[in-house]
A and B are shown apart, each in its own frame.
Chain A
Amino acid sequence: MSDKILVIAEQRDGQLKKPALEALAAAKVLGGTVVALVMGQGIGDLAETLVAHGADEVRVADSADLALYSGEGYATVAASVVKEVGPKVVLASATAMGKDLMPRLAAKLGAGLISDCTSLEVEDGRLVATRPVFAGKAFAKVTTSSEPAVVTVRPKAYTPLEPAEGRDGEVSDVDVGDLVIRAMVREVVKTAGERPDVAEADIVVSGGRGMKGPENFKLLEELADALGGAAVGASRAAVDAGWMPHSAQVGQTGKVVTPALYVACGISGAIQHLAGMSRAKCIVAINKDPDAPIFEVADYGIVGDLFKVVPLLTEEIKKLKG
C-alpha cells in the first residue's frame, strides 16, 4: 500500500500510551505514509515522540473539549482529519478508548471496521487482517473493500519501533471547532493502585476456585510483587464467588490476556478460561489435581498444594533477585 495510513495515537494525562506506539508499528507493516493524530489538551510535545516512533506526519488536536476522552468529541475530530488526509486505513489500538471510538468513527464514515486484529498483512494490494473470534477459540482472516478501512489492533500484538532520534516529520495543528459532547466524563477514578491491569501486564498471576477464599489472594499478590509488579487475575469461579473484582477476570466473559508469563494457581482450566489466556507466551500451572485441563496448555506445571508451592516460589524468586 503506497497510500496514507492514519494512526489515532492514544494519550492519557498527557502521556502517550504504549499501545499508541504499537499501532504506529502496525501501520509501518502496511507501508505508505504514516500520519498520526493525537487528541487531548496541552499535548503538543507528544508529536516528537510519535515521529521518533515512525510517524511521517503528525496532526495535533489540542482543545479543552478533548482534555478527557469522549466518543462523540473524538469521533467528530477524527472524522474531520480523515476527510482532510484521505487515508486508506485508519488504525488504533483496541484499548478501552480504541474499542469505544473506532466503531463510532466507522459508522460516521460509513466505513468497514475490523476490530482487535492480531496481525495485518497486505495481499494483492488489499488489507488482510487476522483476528480472534469466540474469545480465541478460532481465528478469522478478514478483508474489506471499504475505503478507508477502520482497524483496531490488539494491545501487545505489535512491538513499538526503537525510537529514531532526530527523525523528521511534519507537525500541524487540527482546527477543532465546536464539539457537541452529551456523554461527558466528569471524573476519572483510579481503581488499580500500583498494580497493572491484567490486559496490559507482561506477567499475570491468577487464582481460581483452588484459592479457597479472598484472603488467600494475598499469596498471589506477594508472588506478583516478587516477579516485579505483575498483575493479579482471577478465574470466573473466583470472581463469581466475590473473591476478586470482575475487572480482574481472565477468560471468555472477562479479559483475553497475552502476557509473557501467566501463572495459574488453583485454576482447573475451564474452556472459557483457556480461551482467555492460552495465547500467553509461557504458561505455568500450579494445581493439586494432576488431571486438571490447565496442564494440557501449561508449558510448566507443578502438581501440588498451592498453599505450600506458591509461598516457596515467592521466596525463591526473591532470593534470585537478591
Chain B
Amino acid sequence: MAPSSQHCREKGETTMEIVVCVKQVPDTETRIKIDPAGKGIVREGIEYVVNPYDEFAIEEALVLKEKHGGKVTVITAGPDRAVDALRTALAMGADEAIHIQASQEDAVDSIGAAEVMARALKEIPFDIILCGKQAVDDDNAAFAPALAEFLGLPHVTVVTGLEVDPEAGEAQVVREIEGAQEHITTSLPAVIAAQKGLNEPRYPALRGIMQAKRKKIPVSTLADLGLEGETLPARTEVLSMMPPPPREGGEKYEGEPEETVARLIKALQAEKLV
C-alpha cells in the first residue's frame, strides 16, 4: 500500500497531499508528419504543451488545495523538454515538481509509463492522484487505471465532477459514459482521471510564471527507480507509422438553396444514405 498523508496528519487538520501526473505532448494544432524511416513522427518544429486533459487535472488539484489546504505536487516522466510542462503547472499554482528523466517513443506504452510513475509515487505521500483521461498523442487512455492497479488503489476515469471529503477519506465522483453518468463513491487515496467539463483551467499569472522559472525541480532517473535503460519501459513495439488514408474534397454545390439541396439529396440517395 502506498503511503498516505492520512496517517501522519494531526487530528482535525484537513490539509491534502495532492499529486498530479502530467505529460508533455505536441500542441493539438500540430500537423503530424511521418519521419522518413516510417517509424515515428517528425519532431522538428513541433510546439509542445501540457496535455490538454492534464490541465483539467492541475486545475482540480488547485481547487482542492484552495478548499481543503495542502500541497500540489506535479510529476512527469519524459525527456529534458518535459520540464516545461512542469513549469507551466507551477506557474498555474502547483507547489512542487518532480521530473523523471526518460526518453520516450512516439507511441508511448502507457502501461510502462504507469509502472515508472507507480515506482516514483511509492516514495512520496499522497491523498489523491489526478491526471488527464488520455494523452492526446498516444490516445491510449490507459495510464490512470494501470497506475491505480500498480499502486493497489481504486480509480475513476473520464471524471466530470469531483467532491472530496478529506475527513472521511472519501470522494464523490461523476464519470461520463455513453449517454449517461455514473455517480461513484470512492475511498481515498484514489487515482482520478479528468475529462473536459470538470472545470475551466486558469491561466498562469505573471507572478506565477516568474516564480516557476526560478523553482528548483529535482530530477530522478529510471536507474534511481530501480529500472534499467533510459527509455520508458514498453511491452508493445511500434512496427511502422503512416499517415491516414488521404481524403479529398468531392462535389461542392453553389447557388440557390432549393437547387443545392436538391442536388445534395440526389447524391445522398445514390449513396443510399437517405
Contacts and interface: CB of A to CB of B under 8 A. Distances in A.
Interface of A: 68-69, 71-72, 75, 95-97, 99-104, 106-108, 111-116, 128, 132-146, 181-192, 196-197, 199-200, 203, 227, 245-247, 249, 252-254, 260-261, 271-272, 278-279, 282, 284, 290, 295-305, 308-309, 312-313, 316-317, 320-321
A182 B239 contact: no
Interface string B189-203: 010000111000000
A142 B249 contact: no
B93 interface: no
A316 B236 contact: no
5 contacts: A71-B157, A112-B236, A113-B109, A253-B52, A278-B247
A300 B253 contact: yes
B184 interface: yes
A183 to B, nearest CB: 4
B31 to A, nearest CB: 7
Nearest to A314: B261
Contact of A133 (B138, B144, B177, B274): B138
B174 to A, nearest CB: 9
Given A102-B142, A103-B110, A184-B186, A301 B251 contact: yes
B178 A96 contact: yes
Interface stretch (B67-75, B204-212, B217-225, B265-273): B265-273
Interface in B235-259: 235-244, 247-255, 257-258
A187 B183 contact: yes
Nearest to B197: A246
Given A107-B146, A187-B183, A252 B253 contact: no
Contacts of B147: 107
B257 A301 contact: no
Given A100-B145, A101-B145, A134-B26, A107 B107 contact: no
A184 B29 CA distance: 38
A315 B158 CA distance: 38
B185 A186 contact: yes
Nearest to B112: A112
B235 A188 contact: no
A103 B244 contact: no
A interface majority secondary structure: mixed
B16 interface: no
From A99, A114, A189, A272, residue with most partner B Cβ within 10 Å: A99
A200 B179 CA distance: 9
B32 A313 contact: no
A272 B26 CA distance: 12
Nearest to A108: B149
A190 to B, nearest CB: 5
What 8 pairs between A and B have smallest CB-CB spacing?
A112-B235, A192-B179, A103-B142, A183-B154, A107-B149, A183-B186, A104-B145, A96-B177
A18 to B, nearest CB: 11
Contacts of B180: 188-192
A116 B136 CA distance: 13
Interface in B18-59: 26, 28-32, 34, 41, 52-53
B253 A197 contact: no
Contacts of A199: 178
Tell which of A295, A304, A305, A321 has the most Cβ of chain B within 10 Å. A304
Nearest to B153: A182
Contacts of B28: 135, 252-253, 271-272
A117 to B, nearest CB: 11
A199 B179 CA distance: 10
A300 B263 CA distance: 9
A53 B190 CA distance: 38
A99 B195 CA distance: 14
B100 interface: no
B157 A99 contact: yes
B142 A106 contact: yes
Contacts of A189: 180-183
B80 interface: no
A301 B239 contact: no
